[in-house]
Structure 1
Amino acid sequence: MSITTVESTEASSAAPKAPVPRTIAPLAFWSIVVAGVVAGVYYLVQVVEHRQVLLHLIDLSVYQIAGDRVSHHVSVYDTPLLGNTRGVWEFVYTPFSAMLFVPLRWIHGDLYTFVGGFGNFVMLVVSCLVALSMLGYRRDRRLAIAAVAIAGLLLWCEPIRMTMAFGQVNIFLLLIVIADMALPDTSRWKGVLTGVAAGIKLTPAFFVLYLLVTRRYRAAGMAVGGFAATLVIGFAVLPKDSLTFWSGAFIDPERVGIPDNLSNESLRGMIARLVGVGGAHQLIWLAGAGLMAAVCLYLARRLSQTGRELAAVVCVGVTMTAVSPFSWVHHWVFLAPLLICLGDLALRRGGLVAPLGFLATALVVSSGVLAFFDPTLVSVFDFANNNHPTTLYRNAYIWLTVALLAATAIALRRSTTREPSPDVADAQV
């Protein structure tokens, strides 16, 4: 054998091998398909019978009004979009987002309902497909079918269900952020969609910090550039509204909502309900949010370094919602890919811990088993007034976030104390 041949053989053996795409086992695949069809059909039946509860699209109607105002050169911030009560139905998104809503003004009747409901479901399916791809599954027809079935199951995830009902933008934001994070680091466009998402609603800007701590500086720069582009467009088309929004309207509590609102499912909301909105509330929240964000970014970096990209993105997305000043239940859409992560882990790992973790999380984010029998319930969290422990019960998503970060830290610690194996390297926490 020649020296050239030997060197070539050694180089090829030393080169890292691309991971072999995984496939869903037949039993798991058909179980997911059957469960997804049953869940999706039952949800559709409930929508038909209780349309005003499960698909009223009232927020989509508010977006439509915003788009109509933009097209008629009327400010979206000077007065509420519905009614005349300040703090109720105020437009809280950016001027750039108001411009994106302009096409809604031409959609009416059954087409409006179809676009609002089916459009969100299609984006949910694509989000599931992207998440499964990030887990290493082979992109084929079986995966597409599984994504549709999983989306059917996720209709019973409370944030997804409420986003569908209100016609909110949250699933769209989830899609473009997770699609952006799924791009290879070599892509020159990575980060742009995250910047655009932040230009629609500010909270996705948290992902810029994730890109920075994982040393994806070009992607972080592209995200900042994408966000800056939305600002420039907003000021060019809506200069007065842009000045109003960026000069303080975006942090005005009378627009966003008071911190101790019972529907504020964020860390700030929990603290405000515990200690009140006066005194040290602000400092406690900032300290707690800073600590939670720092822990999240550290763990997300570790997850990303070990190839568990979806797990890292989920940690960032869930924590982003927890530390936000105000988070409605329907803002917690990153709980959907969390369920996909945990479900994948439960299928691949033996024992009881992973399946029980998945089932416990599914129970919490479904708003309880009662929702499966009576989906017209807005939220099981509302039962907290009936002698339930409100600190634990009403802030369930905050405690779920804490549990997620703790479980991730434990899993990462254990993975560093034993010999690495393919299973550990692939694991999604």
Structure 2
Amino acid sequence: AGATLLGFALAWSDSWEYWTRTIRHTDRIGEASLNTDQNIAGALARIGLGEHARFVLWVLGCFLVLALTVWAMRRVLRAGEPTLALICVALFGLVVSPVSWSHHWVWVLPAILVTAVVGWRRRNVALAFVSAAGIALMYRTPIDLLPKHHESTANWWHQLFGMSYVWWALAVIAAAGLTVVAGETARAEGRRAEREPALISDVNVAP
């Protein structure tokens, strides 16, 4: 609110134009079917569905992803990995948002780092894989397989690859929920505790 008031103070006419006229014209930022709109809504728009059917499927998809995220987040939190839980929530927001342009996906970098660190620490192959896949996704993005401004004309496999950001985010959430469990930490600590007495006894008997 303070920043908005400051904008009015510094640029009254521009602020008035934006808040009374421009803000209502959401089509100025581009169509939802553009390949850079990486979310459920964008994927549905690109396959040529009508507005009503698209809305119903989008709402249904959002609830399904919400259920997946809540389940994964609870398991990850019980396993003592709050940062990974935060990553799951951030990716959920990008997937279900009505508009998530490719430059909105700034959470990809921390997601890659967190999954790599947790994967290394827990010797978790699934997290290591999605971390590497995230790097590959940013280096060579498959969304370019969709012809710009003609995305709805692409064939089915281009459509699947064209929503690669969404698939990757879902893979991260699913991998976190399926493979990061609380028992792993306890077992690792137990193995470490078992090794420590042996090391101490070796030191004591050493001449």
When normalised by structure 1's length, the TM-score is 0.37
Q: Kindly indicate whether the alpha-carbon contact (under 8 Å) linking 1:260 and 1:276 is maintained by their aligned counterparts in 2.
A: no
Q: Kindly indicate whether the alpha-carbon contact (under 8 Å) linking 1:256 and 1:326 is maintained by their aligned counterparts in 2.
A: no
- Aligned pairs (5 A) from 1:5-404: 228-247=1-20, 249-250=22-23, 252-293=25-66, 295-296=68-69, 299-300=72-73, 303-304=76-77, 307-350=80-123, 352-367=125-140, 379-384=141-146, 389-404=157-172
- Equivalent residue for 2:186? 421
Aligned residues: 183
Q: Which runs of 5+ in 1 are unaligned?
A: 1-227, 368-378, 425-429
Q: Deviations over 1:7-47 (max 9, x none)?
A: xxxxxxxxxxxxxxxxxxxxxxxxxxxxxxxxxxxxxxxxx
Q: Kindly indicate whether the alpha-carbon contact (under 8 Å) linking 1:260 and 1:277 is maintained by their aligned counterparts in 2.
A: no
- Equivalent residue for 2:202? none
Residues 351, 301 of structure 1: CA spacing in aligned structure 2 closer, same or farther, 3 A cutoff?
A: closer
TM-superposed deviation, 1:267: 1.6
TM-superposed deviation, 1:272: 0.6
> d(CA) in 2 for partners of 1:239 and 1:396?
42
Q: Kindly indicate whether the alpha-carbon contact (under 8 Å) linking 2:113 and 2:131 is maintained by their aligned counterparts in 1.
A: no
TM-superposed deviation, 1:273: 1.0
Q: Kindly indicate whether the alpha-carbon contact (under 8 Å) linking 2:38 and 2:166 is maintained by their aligned counterparts in 1.
A: yes
> d(CA) in 2 for partners of 1:240 and 1:328?
29
Q: Deviations over 1:49-68 (max 9, x none)?
A: xxxxxxxxxxxxxxxxxxxx
Identity among equivalent positions (%) equals 25
Q: Name the Cα RMSD after superposition.
A: 3.3
TM-superposed deviation, 1:399: 0.9
Higher helix share: 2
Q: Residue 325 of structure 1 aligns to a residue in which SS?
A: coil
TM-superposed deviation, 1:329: 1.9
> d(CA) in 2 for partners of 1:282 and 1:405?
24
Residues 233, 286 of structure 1: CA spacing in aligned structure 2 closer, same or farther, 3 A cutoff?
A: farther
Match for 1:265: what amino acid? Answer: Q
> d(CA) in 1 for partners of 2:50 and 2:11?
34
Residues 285, 293 of structure 1: CA spacing in aligned structure 2 closer, same or farther, 3 A cutoff?
A: same
Q: Residue 57 of structure 2 aligns to a residue in which SS?
A: helix
Higher relative contact order (CA 8 A, sep 6+): 2
Q: Which runs of 5+ in 2 are unaligned?
A: 148-153, 190-207
> d(CA) in 1 for partners of 2:89 and 2:16?
30
Match for 1:263: what amino acid? Answer: T
Q: Residue 258 of structure 1 aligns to a residue in which SS?
A: coil
Structure 1 residue 411 corresponds to structure 2 residue 168: no
Match for 1:404: what amino acid? Answer: V
Q: Kindly indicate whether the alpha-carbon contact (under 8 Å) linking 2:72 and 2:178 is maintained by their aligned counterparts in 1.
A: no
TM-superposed deviation, 1:264: 1.6
> d(CA) in 2 for partners of 1:275 and 1:402?
23
The worse-fitting range, judged by mean Cα deviation, of 255-264 and 317-326 is: 317-326
Q: Kindly indicate whether the alpha-carbon contact (under 8 Å) linking 2:142 and 2:161 is maintained by their aligned counterparts in 1.
A: no
Match for 1:410: what amino acid? Answer: L
